[in-house]
Amino acid sequence: MLDKTVTDWKAAAEALNIEGRAFINGRYTDSLSGETRATINPATGEELAQVALCSEADADRAVI
């Protein structure tokens, strides 16, 4: 693991597939509103993914 190069790590990062839906009750699901929000790499300003914009009601679904 320590022998990976910066190039290796960049390639791994580019290959990531970020799941943007919320994980609630054992499955991925959209937020109740269907809204999403961009996640941004602060170093580059690049958008990494759109993720579910969850509300209090979504949190209640997850814990109740």
Residues 9-64: tens digit of each pLDDT? 889 888 888 899 999 999 999 999 999 999 998 999 999 899 999 999 999 999 97
Note whether residue 53 is domain-resident.
Answer: yes
Domains: count for the chain: 1
Note whether residue 56 is domain-resident.
Answer: yes
pLDDT at 2 over 80: no
Distance set, CA 41 to CA 3, 18, 37, 38, 63 (Å): 25, 13, 13, 10, 29
pLDDT for the residue numbered 1: 57
- Look up the pTM and report it: 0.68
Note whether residue 1 is domain-resident.
Answer: no
Q: Left if phi > 0, otherwise alpha if psi is -120 to 50, otherwise beta: which for 57?
A: alpha
Note whether residue 39 is domain-resident.
Answer: yes
Domain extent, residue 52, equals: 6-63
pLDDT for the residue numbered 14: 84
